[in-house]
Structure 1
């Protein structure tokens, strides 16, 4: 589970490693909230195209695009549930930095921070259950803000 830059990934919760982030409901409708869902079997609404759009290294900025609906992972608002939206790629709410946080056991763990002031990806209330909301929350770098990146095809 290593993030190697642009590619297709399943983004897995560090705290609840049986779950990944998912455009909820399996639909192709934009505006779907993003929640935790079992990573097996891996479905298209849990696959994300990570596309480099600016910079390099720790300052690289990415779009994270849902393969089922084509929407950008969006930091909808500070302390709000993230969603999949169509917006201009220049909008900072759809731009993310992905930073290596630590090595845990044999895996690399990352934080995913919005370029906007809307914070970082966060499993609400440190939840690990199916249906836990994935928020854009103030940056705190707790266990519920850490993610694994599994290459997917």
Structure 2
């Protein structure tokens, strides 16, 4: 058979076939390493877009109309239910490392005692600090309490006995 096709048809154990095989394995391993180390992004939560928030009118819309226009939030006021909070976070995972939060935005819609929209605010995190990104009404933050105080104010406030009652 080798006489029909010449010397090039003869593939032995010590020739170029071995180099091609090793080269293929090295390339496959390098490709798997690159794919394994590429970042994977995951988004959690939901915040309304600027277009959806533009549909809301301060002083006119109620909780029900907000729910219809932009949907119900993932969190509401823990202490006195005067606000709705939409929270969205983005995490990145690189290789085998622990996921890291790279972005977080919070949209806070506060309501008056009568149940109409009082303020619409958008917050972000800059180096661990809460930063207002936009605000419809130029007042201080949500009802005089910081956003973190409202979101985490009830943590540890309940005991097991109170939960069982």
- In which range does the TM-score fall when normalised by the shorter chain? under 0.3
Higher relative helix content: 2
Higher relative strand content: 1
TM-score scaled by structure 2?
0.23
Q: Which has the larger radius of gyration?
A: 2
TM-score scaled by structure 1?
0.24
